A and B are shown apart, each in its own frame.
Chain A
Amino acid sequence: MSTVTWITARGLFGRSRFLMLLPLPLVLIGLAVLCRSLGVDPGQWGPPVLVGLGLAVVLPVVALIVGTGVLGAEIDDGTVVHILTKPLPRWQIVLPKLAVAAGVSAVTVGIPIYVAGVLADSVRLGLALVAASAAGALAYSALFLALSLVTRRPVLLGLVYVLIWEGLLGRFVGGTRVLSIQQWVIALADRMAPTPLLGTTVSVPVAAVLTALVAVGFTVLAIDRLRSFSVAGETS
């Protein structure tokens, strides 16, 4: 475990604002338990809870806050200089931070979605959802980490992607679903545990290849951007 990993994890957990993330998973578990205890048909509550809340809201929002936080917060308050001036290759800075971001997001999302998946259908569905959302967390984290190096407003740009591209266009314009991490996660989970609860138009090989491509591509981009990173003051 490198020092960068340690610093990043402490920067993430050491502040009270990390507690802001907790309500999201709790609502997910709470709704699943409520529906199960009232005996509602899983075919009815499964899609809104698992996909509508879990994969479409909790996963991207948690990944956005964590993914832009691991490096973006340091860039924001200027302490990134301390890491950049150490004799470390850039990939040794980016990769540990990416690992922490993806790991934290995967755990934060994985536990509630496993519980919800088990309550909805079976342990198999729960495990499939955990695996797929972990892959999704990696892709999202790589994307948002790269965003925080490319632009000074990574959260807003990330929100544009999550809200407008995946949320608005994904619902009305079917073609954009091929380029949506959310749909890839659904496709992967559906492949590992076929149920009528999950449905998507994206084929599984496309989803798998694109997820890997996004994860690797944006990591390489982040390393490259950090190589020629210029420290600037607060923008207006």
Chain B
Amino acid sequence: MSDATGVIHDIGYQRYTGPRLGRRQVFGALYLHGVRTVFGLGRSAKAKIFPWLVVSVVTVVAAGVTAVRSQIGEVVMTYAQFADAMSWLVIFFAAVAAPELVSRDLRSGVLPLYFSRPLPRGDYALSKLLALVTALWLLLGGPQLVMFLGAAFTTNRGVRGVWDELLDLLPGLLYAGLWAVVFASIALLVASLTGKRAFAAGGIVAVFLMTTPVVGVLSILPSATVNELAFLASPPTLVGGVGTWALGDALTQGQGGGMPIGDFGPVYAAVAVLLVAGCVSLLLLRYRKVAAR
């Protein structure tokens, strides 16, 4: 054997000496990517079908409500009632979006790549959660803005009417935020348990649908206390209970339709906070350790 004849040529590789973006930029990039993923932006047409189906249905309903109001002058539903009426669509949207956000990463086994970056475990989960909350809030808030614009341009009381309408809109947007936080934390927790998108979607819908009839049964039991606490059993009615307590008339605008929760308003708020906190901490716990595949 002759001596080694190989030569390592210097072909000009250089170290990167520019500024290195930190943790916040990683978080921001992951968040933005998450929001885009939910709506299928930057992805194929197939990925856009289901999110935009829901968005268009919700917008059409809002436009219809606005049209009725401007033509007949009758308020069909308030901003908060709009969120309540759309609950099934919100559930479906969450079932489409949450698996896209987390289940795909689990299935394709890219989490070790993510976590080999300066990205703490918690940041990954929280950025995905924040993305889903934003998307759900946009889903409910956007149509409410359509309703507001319709009402603002058809008001016959000038600036005063627009201002009153705005005061009605703000609690509605807050309420939509509450919906978004509760639904997103539950849906993302369920979705993060399985890598199969189909199973994650089924699981999310099962969780939300299964609890709804429980409320119906609990509210007819022969005990006033149980009846007033019944709405705790299901996420949509839990949100409704918190809204009834915290926003009161601002929510229903004197139309009635609040939940008969008696004096248990603070209990509802506490349970909602506990539920979200529990789901988020379980989610963080779930990402403490991830399998490579």
Q: Which residue of B lies closest to A34 (CB)?
A: B217
Knowing A45-B220, A53-B213, say if A159 contacts B201 (CB, 8 Å).
yes
Docked-complex contact B220 and A164, CB < 8 angstroms: no
Cα distance A58–B202 in the bound complex, in angstroms = 12
Docked-complex contact B217 and A48, CB < 8 angstroms: yes
Q: Which residue of B lies closest to A171 (CB)?
A: B88
Q: Which residues of A contact B287 (CB under 8 A)?
A: none
Docked-complex contact B217 and A164, CB < 8 angstroms: no
Least CB distance, B1 to chain A, in whole angstroms: 47
Least CB distance, A53 to chain B, in whole angstroms: 4
Docked-complex contact B210 and A235, CB < 8 angstroms: no
The interface-forming segment of A4-12, A20-28, A174-182 is A20-28
In this assembly, does B214 line the interface, its C-beta being within 8 Å of a C-beta of chain A?
Answer: yes
Docked-complex contact B213 and A164, CB < 8 angstroms: no
Chain A 146-163, CB-CB to B under 8 Å as 1, else 0, gives 000000111110011011
Q: Is the interface of A mostly helix, strand, loop or mixed?
A: helix
Cα distance A168–B58 in the bound complex, in angstroms = 12
Q: Which residue of B lies closest to A68 (CB)?
A: B198
Q: How many residues of B contact A (CB 8 A)?
A: 33
Least CB distance, B51 to chain A, in whole angstroms: 10
Find residues 194-236 in chain A having any chain B CB closer than 8 Å to their own CB: 235-236
In this assembly, does B133 line the interface, its C-beta being within 8 Å of a C-beta of chain A?
Answer: no
Q: Which residue of B lies closest to A24 (CB)?
A: B210
Q: Which residues of B contact A153 (CB under 8 A)?
A: 46, 50, 198
Q: Which residue of B lies closest to A167 (CB)?
A: B88
In this assembly, does B196 line the interface, its C-beta being within 8 Å of a C-beta of chain A?
Answer: yes
Q: Which residues of B contact A168 (CB under 8 A)?
A: 88-89
In this assembly, does B5 line the interface, its C-beta being within 8 Å of a C-beta of chain A?
Answer: no
Q: How many residues of A contact B (CB 8 A)?
A: 39
Docked-complex contact A31 and B214, CB < 8 angstroms: yes
Knowing A40-B222, A236-B43, say if A159 contacts B194 (CB, 8 Å).
no
Docked-complex contact B91 and A65, CB < 8 angstroms: no
Least CB distance, B225 to chain A, in whole angstroms: 13
Docked-complex contact A164 and B88, CB < 8 angstroms: yes
Docked-complex contact B198 and A61, CB < 8 angstroms: no
Docked-complex contact B201 and A155, CB < 8 angstroms: yes
Residue from the list B43, B92, B202, B217 in contact with A45, Cβ < 8 A: B217
In this assembly, does B199 line the interface, its C-beta being within 8 Å of a C-beta of chain A?
Answer: yes
Docked-complex contact B222 and A163, CB < 8 angstroms: no
The residues of A with any CB-CB pair to B shorter than 8 Å are 17, 20, 23-24, 27, 31, 34-35, 38-40, 44-45, 48-49, 52-53, 57-58, 61, 64-65, 68, 72, 76, 152-156, 159-160, 162-164, 167-168, 235-236
Q: Supply 18 A–B pairs (Cβ within 8 Å), ascending by A.
A: A31-B217, A34-B221, A40-B220, A49-B217, A53-B213, A57-B213, A61-B206, A153-B198, A156-B50, A156-B198, A160-B50, A160-B92, A163-B205, A163-B209, A164-B89, A167-B88, A168-B88, A236-B44
| Top-5 shortest CB links A-B | A53-B213, A48-B216, A155-B198, A52-B213, A57-B209
